[in-house]
Structure 1
Amino acid sequence: MRAAGRASHSRLRSVKSGILRAASGVASDTLERALMTRERKIYWVKTATILCLIPVLVYAFGSGPPPRRTGAPGDRTCLDSGCHVGTSIPDSGAIALSSSIGDLSYTPGGARQRWTVRITDAQARRFGFQLTTRLASNETSGQAGDLNPADTATQVICENDQPKPAAGCPSSAPVQFVEHFQFPRTDGTFTFDWTPPATNVGDVRVYVAANGSVAGVGNSRIHLRNFTIRPATSVPPSPAIRAEQSVLQAFDDRARISPGTYVQVFGSNFAQNGANGRLWEGRDFNGNSAPTNLDGWGVTFNDIPGFVYFVRGGVSGAPDQINVQVPNIATTGNVNVVVTGPGGLRSNAATLPAAAVSPALLAPAGFR
């Protein structure tokens, strides 16, 4: 009886050992061969135990994967690390990333953005994910910005596999990962927050790994995709023509406009080129045709470009200025004068009456 008890205890230990090997990722056919060698008398014990184990396998890492499973440089995926078994789908269109600001960009030191990851896979029943943000200049270990959960469906961990403290991840484990928390979702949508870096660090690379779990044990579809978040282009302020004495005849400083005469346009946010400004040069001409802009700065008269002779801006205590020859415009009615700048910049319009001629004599102030 004692010998029989020892034999029974030995069998149960063998069953336990086989189950632990299954939970550790031993291939199912190996497990099956091992189980087939057991005596028939413990068949029902094995069956019940394995059936209890199946939900554990199905919901493996239901509370979120370990760190560095995004497929980014220096990371693995849940397939090659043994978290899941299934198919890898690189550069997958099933993953979409959107931002509350409308486009994938950031302003250094700017406000926190609300990001949403959406996973679309008609074959999958449940979804999980992990995302990381890296410096394009150091995609292995350069953390870019700060990740935070927006609800209880996500969590943020550090690369040391610990929850991110309020003060941020430690310097010894700086890379952050946002991922699903508790159980995977059935709708494939996850929302969380990202705060941009305080300074312009260049491009930011976002790596996302998404698990679409298909019915059956060990049958996952691992989608991989990455995105680039670029610094927002610095948009200069629009040029503005001043309200008083905005457009003056160049020779007598009166508000008159006629075809062929020279006028001065005054305002702010014109070309910031300093006290000497910029005169037209031979290189600005196209044959006998005078330039209609200097370094991108010009003036239109009822949408007809004038011929720009001089541009100056950025002088402390002085208005910005453009000297321009009026093109061949109508000599009756009003004329809308607009300053144009690089990249499609446009000022407000200054409106003046047109005249057929506006004679003036260019002379030193003492002779006027």
Structure 2
Amino acid sequence: MKKHFTLKRFLTATMVLSMVSISLISITNTGGPPAGYSNAPSESNCTTCHSGSLVTSGTNYNNISLSGNFTGSGYIPDSTYTIELEYSQTGKTKFGYQLTCLTSANAMAGSFAVISGNSKSSIISGSFGGGTRSYMRQTSAGTAATSGAQTWSFNWTAPSSNVGPVKFYTVVNSTNSSNTNASDVIIAKEFSFSPSTLLPVASASASNANPCKGSVVNLSGSGTNTPTSYNWSLVGANPGTSTSQNPSVVYPNQGTYRAILTVTNAKGVSQPDTVVISVKPTPTAFIGGGATRTLCQGDSLELTSTFESGNVYTWSNGKTGNSVFVKDTGDYTVSVQGSNGCGRLSNSVRGNYYTKPTASLTSNASIYNDSSCTDVTLNLQASSAAFDSFFYYIDGTLYASSDSATQAVPFTATTVFGLQVKNATGCYSDITNYTVTARSRAEAPTITCTATTPSSIEFSFSSVFSHNGFQISTNGSSWGTPNSGASGNTHLVSGLQPEDSVTLFVRSRDIAPCDFSLVGQKKCFTEACTQLEPTVTFADSICRGDVWRVEVNGLANEFFSLSIDNGATFTDTIFEFNPLVSKTYTLNVIDSNSTICPANEIPLQVVVDNINDIELKTDKLGAYCPGETIIFSANDSIENFDFYYNNVLQQSGATNTYSNTGGANGDSVFVIVTKGQCTDTSLKNYVQLEIAPDASFTFARAQSVYTFTPTNGTFNEYTWDFGDGSALSTDVSPTHDYADVEGTTVNASLEIVTSNNCVYDSSQAIALPVFSSVADLIALGLEVYPNPTTDVVYINNEGNRPMQLTVISLSGEVVLQAVNATKSLDVSKLSAGVYILKVRIGNEEASVRLLKN
């Protein structure tokens, strides 16, 4: 921006000068202020660069005026007007300004233009309040005051549409050219202009601003200044727009909507006028199911509408409630009235009737004038099979239902049968009744049992009434002709068992409709059997492989046959065979004069004894140790065992084992066993004793370490006891250090175990020498004296090196010990005797025999 100079000082940007607190002589920004100083919303004003508070009232405030060549006291959209901003203040010589124009939404209203030839004003733009705004401001040519007044003129083009009132935001700065800003006056003023009164003013109304959903709303529109057209915006309505002055619309959904009207005349379009429409919900009115319902005549149809609490339901037949039952044909609707005053008429449902089916009933008794003998089965027959279901009644009670047009029914007396049918539409007929009259049957024949045997019965029968012959049955349901013929009066039943029974049913043949008389019955029995009773002799036990002999007596002059366990028959009364196992055989004695009678079954129980190969065993494999007990055992489950040792009976009884201790190699043992009729002898078992092995050992010494070696190194186990209380060793050839018990006698022993688990041992007494000597002491630079001694022993220690002195008895017990000794050791308290004195210096050690007097 180009800057101008006053007479005395250079003017620069007001904002920058205020930030660095440099005081300048300022009158106005001669090139015009930057954008955003019109005091409009979201903007500043010139007080940030000029002293003093913003003036918004008073004389100077009232000296600002803004006018334009408006028609009808306001703007017409898209029209251009010349605007004049005037200001006067006595004593001021320079003025500046900034101006913008905004809508009520603080958006830029219209546009500015500089009047051609007028250099007092210029245009600038900036972004404020979320949009771009244009500003008019003074130029350097428009700052000088004439007689304390200034006028700025420019063109303003109104918005292209009617945006309602607009507002010009103006800030004016006046100064007296005193080379300071102390006397500057910043004045802010707003000027509002409405649309021209020559524009139409829309007016909208509704016949009902709170309608029910789906009802018609009549809208009314009008406007001032002779409107030429109308335009309705009807969001949510049907239709959604209209150019009619007074349209009728429907709001199909509940909610709040706005009907907005704008009108147009020769000058332009009005501001919109709005009618708020609050649509109330209407109740649901719908009868569920199909539109047409067909029911059976006499049935009821239930009609149900959707239920909502608080609604009142009134049906077209005058009934109330959301559900009703109807029986008459016709069209039905329900009117539903909600608690909010809204109502609705439901869909229409048509009720129709199906034609009621009809059917009649007859039976196979119709050929006898609907009469029949009792205790028979009648076959009922419907007049048509063209039905879905058939229901048969006996004396008013349902007997059976099926899809068949025929039904078998019992007939025992005069009966009223009934039939009801159901057709494909599900409709039932009335019950049709049909009566069958009962006729009496002839009395049952008389039956007697005339001849019986163990296997047959002969029946005879007679009747006092005339008839056409008899029929017989053995089960009461399957009938046939007597084996004496169709006109015969006897019947033979054969092939029976003794003491068996047969019930015979007999009826006589009659004329129709009773084809047969009542049924007579008789139960008769066959005779009992008499069995043959012989006596039988046999042995009750044998040894397996022996012949078993059986004798049968008492059958002389009888006609008979015999068998064993129902096998082949024979007539020998003495017979033999070889039973293999113990069991009870059955001797069947058959009376050949009465083969139908069962055989007399006589049990023959025999025990077949058997001894498998007897085996005599010992309780140990291999040789026995000398003096070890030998146990001989034979097979078990035998009655008696006789054990012989060297052919002499030693033990007899039920025990199958025999023990012997102290036997010699080659002694023999065998056993004779007895079981029932069987005996058996085992093979001889000979005693085998182990020969005692050599358990001796030798040893060799290297200083105090001894190595022990057994004479025989092939035994299973070795156990060494070194005799000095140390741990045992199981090595074959161990070594042992006797240094701690030198000069004593120990008893070393060896115990061995052979492959037959026999244990042997040997021992030796070993006299241990003293393994150290005076030479060892001299080698360590030591001399011990006096020796023997009575109280003190002296140790000449070259260099007086620390020593550890230990006195040990010949039994190995430590009796005296001194640590860090250098010259002597007091042994006065020891008992007289021989001791071992051990001297240790560092890692070296020497021992010497010490005599205490």
Superposition TM-score, scaled by structure 2 size: 0.20
Superposition TM-score, scaled by structure 1 size: 0.44
**Higher strand fraction: Structure 1 or Structure 2?**
2
**Higher helix fraction: Structure 1 or Structure 2?**
1
